[in-house]
């Protein structure tokens, strides 16, 4: 989705038809797994499939949006490091941005988000638009606090006529330190997040295993009122445990929305 200024709005995520079908299929599959494990009822499956086919796509859309923001943040970090080095070498801001775009094309490809953004900035500057205005527009579309802070500092330093090169170099160093802290946190929690996903799947796998070895073991849980109540309570406890695990592992650095 394009925002004002001619570029995409990274604060929102528009799913492609294939992604939408994938998300709906995931929702229906989740409804099928829950209805099989807890109720063994086609009626329950239909009742769960309708809301799941709406809720799961919304959840996945937010997950994909945050993933794209993380990629954009990493690419932006590389871009400003190149820009800072080019400024230190004596290039103008406009030439530094163009140089960063060419160098990033080698590492992430011409279709990379920051490559397209830098190319867009160059086009806007060729139309005699101030570089700080172009940078501010990108910051507004990015949805990243780091980009907004950089654009604000860049605009003030450029307009005040201060020493732009050391100010940008210092800002880039601070942003790089923050990014490294975020990456360390993500690395430390990655294994725990994987363990969480495995633990989430274990109850379903256990039911499938027991059904395969002792087909009549769970019959009373699906054919009596008391059994259905117990399974409903178990499902509620399971969902609560999944939610708590996600909240515990959702660690963020101050100012980091994801």
In the prediction, which pLDDT does 240 show?
Answer: 93
Instruction: Express each pLDDT in 110-135 by its tens digit.
Output: 888 999 999 999 999 989 888 889 99
Structure token digits, residue 234: 């178990």
Nearest by Cα to 22 from 63, 55, 60 = 60
What are the residue ranges spanned by the domains of the chain?
A: 17-249
Instruction: Express each pLDDT in 33-58 by its tens digit.
Output: 999 988 888 999 999 999 999 999 99
User: What is the rounded average pLDDT for all residues in the chain?
Assistant: 87
* pTM for this entry: 0.81
Question: In this structure, what are the phi and psi dihedrals at residue 8, rounded to the nearest 5 degrees?
Answer: -70, 150
Instruction: Express each pLDDT in 210-253 by its tens digit.
Output: 888 888 888 888 888 898 899 999 999 999 998 888 888 776 65
In the prediction, which pLDDT does 48 show?
Answer: 92
Instruction: Express each pLDDT in 157-175 by its tens digit.
Output: 877 766 788 888 888 888 8
Start-to-end Cα distance in the chain: 21
């Amino acid at each position: 989705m394009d925002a004002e200024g001619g570029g995409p709005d990274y604060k929102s995520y528009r799913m492609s038809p294939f992604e939408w079908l994938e998300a709906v299929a995931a929702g229906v599959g989740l409804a099928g797994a829950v209805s099989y494990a807890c109720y063994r009822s086609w009626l329950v499956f239909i009742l769960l499939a309708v809301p799941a086919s709406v809720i799961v796509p919304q959840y996945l859309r937010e997950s994909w949006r945050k993933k794209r923001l993380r990629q954009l943040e990493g690419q932006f970090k590389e871009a400003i490091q190149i820009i800072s080095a080019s400024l230190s070498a004596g290039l103008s801001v406009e030439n530094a941005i163009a140089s960063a775009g060419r160098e990033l094309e080698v590492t992430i490809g011409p279709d990379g988000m920051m490559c397209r953004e830098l190319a867009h900035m160059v086009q806007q500057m060729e139309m005699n638009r101030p570089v700080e205005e172009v940078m501010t527009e990108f910051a507004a579309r990015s949805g990243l606090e780091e980009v907004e802070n950089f654009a604000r500092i860049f605009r003030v330093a450029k307009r005040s006529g201060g020493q732009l090169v050391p100010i940008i170099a210092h800002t880039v160093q601070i942003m790089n330190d923050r990014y490294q802290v975020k990456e360390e946190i993500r690395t430390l929690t990655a294994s725990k997040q994987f363990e969480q996903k495995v633990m989430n799947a274990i109850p379903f796998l256990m039911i499938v295993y027991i059904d395969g070895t002792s087909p009549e073991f769970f019959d009373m849980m699906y054919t009596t009122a008391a059994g259905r109540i117990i399974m409903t309570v178990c499902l509620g406890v399971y969902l609560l445990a999944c939610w708590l695990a996600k909240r515990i592992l959702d660690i963020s650095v101050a100012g980091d929305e994801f």
